[in-house]
A and B are shown apart, each in its own frame.
Chain A
């Protein structure tokens, strides 16, 4: 179909200069005739709007991409359905009291998930508490203040942290970090901050504090790399504008850069939190694996991922297995809820503000 070469036309679907040659369908007598007419008019539309050479590939590509997007959704739904299905026995036995029961006793078939939920949440939030200021500091340093020659080296080193396998972190935790904590850090914390109630009790070295520290090291590369992307994406004009108004360096960073990159930074934190919630190997090697709720960070704890990894292979008994799958379901739900809350937080912060540098 010859198209008039109009320079004002953008590439892509091109409007024809003349009317379609085929006759407009009016009196289709039978159903098959109507169907043929419908197909031919659809083909007509494709012929009109797509250049001849890329018609079928375009449609196929669009269909494939749609399937890919739907498949992600389908996987999540499938996982959720399997979790609910396999934990039916335990759901039936304990009902909702499973989620606030504190007793985990495989011998007497009594199961409660509260110590694990508590352990997961506390260790993850402790990890974030340590990791977020460090990661943002690292990102600000790399983008704003680092000499250009050092920039690739430091960013490479931070990325390297992400490449270390979890088991290595666990080993390092047991043999290097735990003795360090037990000998120096925990006595110091007990002496200075013992009045808060978070730093007392016997000092094993391993425990909630060790798990939080290890997880923060694992989460730093994630948050810092996303923060770095977002900070680089802030337009230079913002920085210059704030400086032109007489701001100091720190004020420029705070008002011109960090403020604009807020949404992206929170997104990075959510991603880091996701990793922390699901981390299994490193945590189970240093957290002490004790299903008890304790205020002190020196005490051992237990996370949901750890208990599943530890007990699943040897679990005999249908109720025991079903309880472990229900812990998996609890972890799934906790992750969903925490993510939803984080998104809510983002929404409340940025509500009413017009999106400036949204990365």
Chain B
């Protein structure tokens, strides 16, 4: 009994040193989860007294939790809407961290070349107006590819996701039909097609269903070596998604003060048209001042040294001017 008490006492005194650690809790988007985990573990190695705990529960849950104040920061693939900002107990600053892109993947029997998609083609396919790969509109953009007479099956995401948000945002911009009927969102009422769960579900369905076309995240396509097509941007160039073309998409866009901007279909000759920021939601006036200061340092570190680590994980880094602007905003607005 005595020995047990002594052991417990030793553990308590030792853990007193460990207890001086502060834990920052965050929750939100699953798209940037790998890079956030890397960032936070690197930061902990540099600052052992700060432990950051991030749960990828989804952008919606992240927004809800940061609004309610149950987490210290949130993360979201789509910016908060005006209503959400108005109804939030906690005022947040949207800090862009990395860029993601969405690519069109397909399975056309007999076609192994890269297919060129225009906005018109994509909108037509996803609205259900273009139903066969031998359609004239597709052939016009791809004069050197012989398409079979194969029905098109659209594959979309059945789960709510930032990827769907980016894609539907792009379609809303290039097609007024789409904007009026379906609109943009993490979950929409798709006019045609079947749903797959997650990038894996969509990619799996495309792979096994001849004639299928769908949209998946660029990182997923790169890491799993899935064929995807190029998309025509606003300048008329057919751009195949890559880390460079995704970063280029963010360069030419006028950044508003609150960083809530959509960068789909941007101007810019080398810009890839279907890309988006992902944001950290940082409270501007945190209740716990100590945690607020630590969080501010963390975010500034991410925008500075963290950006150098993103390409290794196939994320597109922020353009330098955006990162600088974000750092200034964090320094000024976060108390």
Q: Shortest Cβ distance from A44 into chain B, in angstroms?
A: 43
Instruction: Report chain B residues within 8 Å CB of A106.
Output: 160, 185-189
Q: Does B15 sit within 8 A of A, measured CB to CB?
A: no
Query: In the bound complex, how far is the Cα of B81 from the Cα of A245, in angstroms?
Result: 79
Stretch of A30-38, A213-221, A258-266, A305-313 contacting B (4+ beta carbons < 8 Å): A305-313
Contact A311 B195 (CB under 8 A): no
Q: Shortest Cβ distance from B161 into chain A, in angstroms?
A: 6
Are A313 and B57 also in contact (CB < 8 A) when A202-B153, A206-B194, A290-B194 are?
A: yes
Taken residue by residue from 263 to 286, chain A's Cβ proximity to chain B (1 for < 8 Å, 0 otherwise) reads as 000000000000000000000110
Q: Does A205 sit within 8 A of B, measured CB to CB?
A: yes
Give B280-317 interface residues, CB cut-off 8 Å to A.
Answer: none
Instruction: Report chain A residues within 8 Å CB of B151.
Output: 202
Contact A285 B194 (CB under 8 A): no
Give A174-221 interface residues, CB cut-off 8 Å to B.
Answer: 174-175, 178-179, 182, 202, 204-207
Give A309-354 interface residues, CB cut-off 8 Å to B.
Answer: 309-311, 313-316
Contact A289 B195 (CB under 8 A): yes
Instruction: Report chain B residues within 8 Å CB of A119.
Output: none
Query: In the bound complex, how far is the Cα of B330 from the Cα of A308, in angstroms?
Result: 37
Query: In the bound complex, how far is the Cα of B209 from the Cα of A311, in angstroms?
Result: 24
Q: Shortest Cβ distance from A284 into chain B, in angstroms?
A: 5
Query: In the bound complex, how far is the Cα of B207 from the Cα of A179, in angstroms?
Result: 11
Query: In the bound complex, how far is the Cα of B58 from the Cα of A289, in angstroms?
Result: 20
Instruction: Report chain A residues within 8 Å CB of B64.
Output: 316
Contact A313 B58 (CB under 8 A): yes
Interface of A is mostly: loop
Are A314 and B159 also in contact (CB < 8 A) when A107-B189, A174-B205 are?
A: yes
Contact B201 A314 (CB under 8 A): no
Q: Does B208 sit within 8 A of A, measured CB to CB?
A: yes
Q: Does B59 sit within 8 A of A, measured CB to CB?
A: yes
Q: Shortest Cβ distance from B64 into chain A, in angstroms?
A: 7
Contact B204 A289 (CB under 8 A): no
Q: Does B158 sit within 8 A of A, measured CB to CB?
A: yes
Instruction: Report chain A residues within 8 Å CB of B159.
Output: 309-311, 313-314
Q: Shortest Cβ distance from A172 into chain B, in angstroms?
A: 12
Taken residue by residue from 212 to 240, chain B's Cβ proximity to chain A (1 for < 8 Å, 0 otherwise) reads as 00000000000000000000000000000
Instruction: Report chain B residues within 8 Å CB of A178.
Output: 208-209
Contact A314 B153 (CB under 8 A): no
Instruction: Report chain A residues within 8 Å CB of B182.
Output: 107
**Cβ contact of B195, chosen from A179, A182, A290, cutoff 8 A:** A290
Interface residues on B, range: 20 to 34
Between A108, A205, A315, A316, the greatest number of chain B beta carbons within 10 A of the residue's beta carbon is seen for: A316
Contact B189 A175 (CB under 8 A): no
Are A289 and B184 also in contact (CB < 8 A) when A103-B189, A311-B160, A314-B60 are?
A: no
Taken residue by residue from 177 to 197, chain B's Cβ proximity to chain A (1 for < 8 Å, 0 otherwise) reads as 000001111111110011111
Are A289 and B208 also in contact (CB < 8 A) when A104-B189, A313-B61 are?
A: no
Instruction: Report chain B residues within 8 Å CB of A306.
Output: 158
Q: Does A300 sit within 8 A of B, measured CB to CB?
A: yes
Query: In the bound complex, how far is the Cα of B190 from the Cα of A106, in angstroms?
Result: 11
**Cβ contact of A174, chosen from B57, B153, B188, B208, cutoff 8 A:** B208
Contact A288 B189 (CB under 8 A): no
Contact B194 A204 (CB under 8 A): yes
Q: Does B113 sit within 8 A of A, measured CB to CB?
A: no
Q: Does B122 sit within 8 A of A, measured CB to CB?
A: no
Q: Shortest Cβ distance from B27 into chain A, in angstroms?
A: 10
Are A107 and B58 also in contact (CB < 8 A) when A175-B204, A284-B158 are?
A: no
Q: Does B99 sit within 8 A of A, measured CB to CB?
A: no
Taken residue by residue from 38 to 65, chain B's Cβ proximity to chain A (1 for < 8 Å, 0 otherwise) reads as 0000000000000000000111110110
Give A287-303 interface residues, CB cut-off 8 Å to B.
Answer: 288-291, 300, 302
Contact A107 B185 (CB under 8 A): yes
Are A204 and B60 also in contact (CB < 8 A) when A107-B182, A288-B195 are?
A: no
Q: Shortest Cβ distance from A160 into chain B, in angstroms?
A: 25
Instruction: Report chain B residues within 8 Å CB of A108.
Output: 183
Q: Does A105 sit within 8 A of B, measured CB to CB?
A: yes
Q: Shortest Cβ distance from B273 into chain A, in angstroms?
A: 21
Contact B158 A289 (CB under 8 A): yes
Query: In the bound complex, how far is the Cα of B211 from the Cα of A205, in angstroms?
Result: 13
Q: Does B176 sit within 8 A of A, measured CB to CB?
A: no
Instruction: Report chain A residues within 8 Å CB of B161.
Output: 314
Contact A205 B208 (CB under 8 A): yes
Contact B58 A314 (CB under 8 A): yes
Instruction: Report chain B residues within 8 Å CB of A284.
Output: 158, 197
Chain A, Cβ-Cβ closest to B84: A316
Taken residue by residue from 91 to 116, chain A's Cβ proximity to chain B (1 for < 8 Å, 0 otherwise) reads as 00000000000011111100000000
Q: Shortest Cβ distance from A117 into chain B, in angstroms?
A: 18
Contact A107 B184 (CB under 8 A): yes
Q: Shortest Cβ distance from A310 into chain B, in angstroms?
A: 4
Query: In the bound complex, how far is the Cα of B204 from the Cα of A206, in angstroms?
Result: 12
Query: In the bound complex, how far is the Cα of B201 from the Cα of A309, in angstroms?
Result: 14
Query: In the bound complex, how far is the Cα of B185 from the Cα of A290, in angstroms?
Result: 17
Contact A174 B60 (CB under 8 A): no
Query: In the bound complex, how far is the Cα of B158 from the Cα of A306, in angstroms?
Result: 9
Chain A, Cβ-Cβ closest to B83: A317
Instruction: Report chain A residues within 8 Å CB of B158.
Output: 284, 289, 306, 310
Contact B186 A314 (CB under 8 A): yes
Contact A289 B196 (CB under 8 A): yes
**Cβ contact of A288, chosen from B60, B184, B188, B194, cutoff 8 A:** B194
Top 6 A-B pairs, shortest CB-CB distance: A314-B160, A289-B195, A313-B58, A289-B158, A107-B183, A288-B194
29 contacts between A and B (CB under 8 A): A104-B189, A106-B185, A106-B188, A107-B182, A107-B184, A107-B185, A107-B189, A108-B183, A174-B201, A174-B204, A175-B204, A178-B209, A202-B151, A205-B209, A206-B194, A284-B158, A285-B197, A288-B195, A289-B158, A300-B195, A310-B159, A310-B187, A310-B197, A311-B159, A313-B58, A313-B159, A314-B58, A314-B59, A316-B81
- Which B residues are closer than 8 A to A by beta carbons? 57-61, 63-64, 81, 84, 151, 153, 158-161, 182-190, 193-197, 201, 204-205, 208-209
